[in-house]
Structure 1
Amino acid sequence: MSNCLHLAIPAGDLKVAKAFYCDVLGCKTGNSEEGRWVDIDFWGNELTLHQSVERLPTVRHDVDMGAVAVPHFGIHLSEDEFNGLKKRIEAAGLEYLDKPYRRFVGDEFEQETFFIEDPNGNVLEMKTMVNPEVLFKKA
């Protein structure tokens, strides 16, 4: 696994966080230190959940679709994976922080996105792009 992103976040209760990331989002665990931290395979990236009492503060920044929560992180998924994830979130009875929304309709950057919070209030943006190959195309 080379060139993968590593992100460590305060996760609150590790058992609750691990259940969210594995049972709801469908991620797998990796290395861990009992009661301190656990690595999550976040679609090929290393997300380290740290046992914590603190929560990161969030603010809202204005973008085309409204005011989005910052900081946030997430992943680009295929349309099938994205729709499967939405079904798992809804089956788990979770509420969206920002409901699924289509952005840039008719543009080469057209995408569907939504925001959710993990059990410790970390904000995740999940998205699927119609043309993922244009994401980093040179101007």
Structure 2
Amino acid sequence: MSGILHLAIPAGDLNTTVKFYTDILGCSLGNGEEGRWVDVNFWGNELTLHQSEEKLPNVRHDVDMGAVLVPHFGIHLTQKDFDGVKERIAEAGLEYIDEPYRRFKGDKYEQETFFIADPNDNVLEIKTMKNPDLLFPET
């Protein structure tokens, strides 16, 4: 089990946030402690949602596509999975923080990306890469 990222975040109301990750993003659940925390299979990574009253603060940083919220975390998906997440977001009537946008057009790093917040305002960047194998080419 090497190479699996583990990230623990404040979830606010755990039940509400779990529904976002399962119903909207399509993630499954793993281990947990009722009412306290639960592990989410975030496309092969362990995202642990903790019942909380706190929210993470964030600020915007300038990048090529504009000012993005930091901190944020996310995932690179296949085009099919990416399109499925966008469809579920539309069906649920959720709003994007930053609408889907194509970056680095015509470049080997071309990608489509968007930003959305979970129910506790944790910011996620979801993207699909034109050439995913080029993200970290072997040296």
Q: What is the TM-score when the length of structure 2 is the normalising length?
A: 0.98
Q: For residue 43 of structure 1, what is the aligned residue in structure 2?
A: 43
Alignment correspondent of 1:113: 113
Partner of 1:58: 58
- Stretches of 4+ aligned residues off by more than 2 angstroms: none
Partner residue in 1 for 2:89: 89
2-structure distance, mates of 1:2, 1:43: 15
- The aligned counterpart of 1:99 is 99
Q: SS in structure 2 opposite 1:32? A: strand
Q: Give ranges in structure 1 of 5+ residues lacking alignment.
A: none
Once residues 78 and 125 of structure 1 are traced to their aligned partners in structure 2, the CA distance between those partners, rounded to angstroms, is 14
Q: How far is 1:52 from its partner?
A: 0.2
* CA deviations over 1:12-48 (Å, ceiling 9, x no partner): 0000010000011100000000111000000000000
CA distance in 2, matches of 1:94, 1:120: 14
CA separation in 1, counterparts of 2:85 and 2:35? 28
Q: Give the aligned residue type for 1:91.
A: E
TM-score by length of 1: 0.98
SS in 2 for 1:23: helix
Q: Which residue does the alignment assign to 1:22? A: 22
Report how far residue 84 of structure 1 moved.
0.8
3-state SS of the aligned residue for 1:107?
A: coil
Identity %: 71
2:33 is matched with: 33
Q: Could you tell me how far 1:138 is from its partner in structure 2?
A: 5.5
Give SS of 2:61's match: strand
Within 1, Cα distance between the matches of 2:138 and 2:71?
A: 26
Q: 1:5: which partner in 2?
A: 5
Q: CA RMSD in A?
A: 1.0
How many residue pairs get aligned? The number is: 139
Instruction: For residues 53-83 of structure 1, give each alpha carbon's deviation from its aligned partner in whole angstroms, at most 9, with x where no partner exists.
Output: 0000010000000000000000000011101
Aligned partner of 1:20: which letter?
F
